[in-house]
């Protein structure tokens, strides 16, 4: 009996951007966007913004482009993605404010705005979350009023777009941002006026929180493929250590600890972290540097030692005593996690640096040494707005929920999306990494069902 193959799902590719009536088009960027359309076989979907003057019209270059479709009404793109045409005011400080209320269940939405923000909302206990994203603009900053809102809007105006690949059910999206010469980079392809894009190497790749021992195997496999393909100069790791073997949150939960101990003790967790470091490092080029950001799960070990819980924990007593000995020696002053990992490794790691809490580490002006779990005066559970205002340009982790607000970027996670302690709380986590390009722009890349592009 012969079987029929299911018909292949058609993939559509589009760039979604906004345009302000009365504003001149960003000509070099728009030309590169058209070249990218030719390369990807894509279209440009332009979402008009609210005009400052009723007589203002869109630039003739936009209207006359053979690649452009004007979207002036709501539009369903597939089963889970839509455009919400709200004619947002170009001066709106946060174009996604209160937009959760206008996004349907099981739908994500694109909003036209000269700002490029991203917010992720829980959609159910287990399925992927829904996403609100604003586009950036293909028109130059045009804020003729000298008022405070206009001046602030000019400072946060982004020449850019959202690139979307979709079939009837699934979609992948990536933010692109242009620099002053109109060039932009997408998945390490640089569109800069040439007939075909050139390939660039990222200055850094910031991974979603690792949580060794609770890492999603599919996300990890795809992550290593990405490292091999993109060949970043530096790899930035958050929450490399999960700390399940010393977690104070479960210190009195005997059943949880029993299940955890079946997976191994602190020494085994150190060993798994060593293997993870080597595995990730070997996926990239030999000259790739690895930076391990000091994170809150690392400090589970600090607290475990400081509280002396290891003295009542025979399984961990030997390795914990070793770490405690040097942790209390002021002449050594070394991170206990680094101590434990180097003990298991038999010495220091090649091209690996462990960043500390009081340390800045910046590439192209982006702060990469902040995990994102602490604000001013140690405030916990800080928002992306806090990060933007307090830290400035930063790529952080911690929440497992990707986000963009002005110059603050949050990556997702590489761990499982529905661990035991989180079940029933609603899922807003995603497998999301960040690429920091040599032009100083950042792009989030999501892994969905084992793929980062369709």
Domains and CATH numbers, the chain: 12-199 (3.60.21), 204-447 (3.60.21)
DSSP 200: -
| pLDDT tens string 296-354 | 999 889 888 888 888 888 888 889 898 888 877 776 678 899 999 999 999 999 999 99
Length of the chain: 454
pTM: 0.93
Q: Is 347 left (phi over 0), alpha (psi -120 to 50) or beta?
A: left
CB–CB of 400/412 below 8 Å? yes
pLDDT digits (tens, 9 = 90+) for 350-384: 999 999 988 999 999 999 999 988 876 666 777 88
213's tokens: 């021992």
Q: Identify the CA nearest to 238 among candidates 276, 287, 288, 200.
A: 276
Asked if residues 153 and 91 have their Cβ atoms less than 8 Å apart, the reply is yes
206's tokens: 């910031």
Q: Is the pLDDT of residue 6 over 60?
A: no
pLDDT over 90 at 1, yes or no:
no
Partners of 175 in the beta sheet?
162
């Amino acid at each position: 009996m012969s079987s029929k193959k299911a018909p292949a799902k058609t993939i559509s590719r589009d760039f979604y951007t906004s345009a302000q009536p009365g504003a001149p088009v960003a000509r070099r960027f728009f030309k590169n966007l058209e070249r990218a359309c030719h390369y990807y076989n894509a279209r440009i979907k332009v979402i008009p913004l609210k005009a400052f003057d009723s007589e203002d019209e869109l630039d003739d270059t936009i209207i006359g482009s053979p690649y452009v479709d004007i979207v002036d009404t709501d539009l369903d793109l597939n089963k889970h993605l839509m455009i919400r045409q709200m004619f947002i005011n170009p001066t709106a400080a946060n174009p996604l404010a209160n937009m959760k209320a206008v996004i349907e269940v099981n739908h994500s939405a694109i909003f036209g705005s000269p700002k490029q923000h991203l917010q992720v909302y829980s959609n159910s206990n287990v399925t992927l979350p829904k996403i609100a994203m604003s586009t950036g603009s293909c028109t130059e900053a045009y804020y003729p009023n000298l008022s405070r809102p206009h001046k602030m809007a000019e400072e946060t105006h982004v020449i850019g777009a959202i690139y979307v690949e979709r079939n009837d059910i699934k979609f992948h999206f990536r933010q692109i941002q242009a620099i002053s010469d109109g060039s932009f980079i997408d998945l390490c392809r640089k569109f800069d006026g040439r007939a075909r894009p050139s390939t660039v190497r990222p200055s850094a790749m910031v991974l979603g929180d690792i949580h060794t021992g609770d890492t999603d195997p599919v996300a990890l496999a795809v992550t290593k493929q990405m490292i091999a393909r993109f060949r970043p100069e530096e790899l930035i790791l958050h929450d490399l250590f999960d700390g399940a073997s010393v977690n104070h949150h479960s210190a009195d939960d005997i059943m949880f600890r029993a299940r955890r101990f079946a997976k191994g003790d602190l020494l085994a967790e150190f060993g798994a972290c060593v293997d993870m470091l080597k595995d990730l490092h070997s996926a990239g080029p030999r000259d790739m540097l690895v930076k391990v950001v000091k994170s809150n799960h690392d400090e589970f070990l600090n607290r475990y030692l400081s509280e002396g819980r290891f003295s009542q924990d025979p399984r961990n007593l030997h390795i914990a005593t070793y770490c405690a000995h040097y942790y209390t020696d002021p002449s050594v002053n070394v991170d206990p996690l680094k101590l434990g990992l180097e003990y298991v490794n038999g010495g220091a790691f090649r091209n690996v640096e462990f960043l500390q809490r009081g340390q800045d580490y910046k590439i192209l002006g982006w702060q990469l040494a902040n995990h994102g779990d602490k604000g001013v005066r140690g405030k916990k559970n800080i928002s992306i707005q806090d990060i933007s205002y307090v830290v400035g340009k930063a790529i952080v982790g911690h929440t497992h929920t990707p986000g963009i607000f002005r110059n603050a970027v949050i990556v997702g996670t590489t761990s499982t999306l529905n661990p035991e302690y989180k079940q029933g709380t609603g899922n807003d986590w995603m497998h999301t990494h960040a690429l920091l390009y040599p032009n100083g722009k950042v792009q989030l890349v999501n892994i969905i069902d084992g793929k980062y592009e369709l």
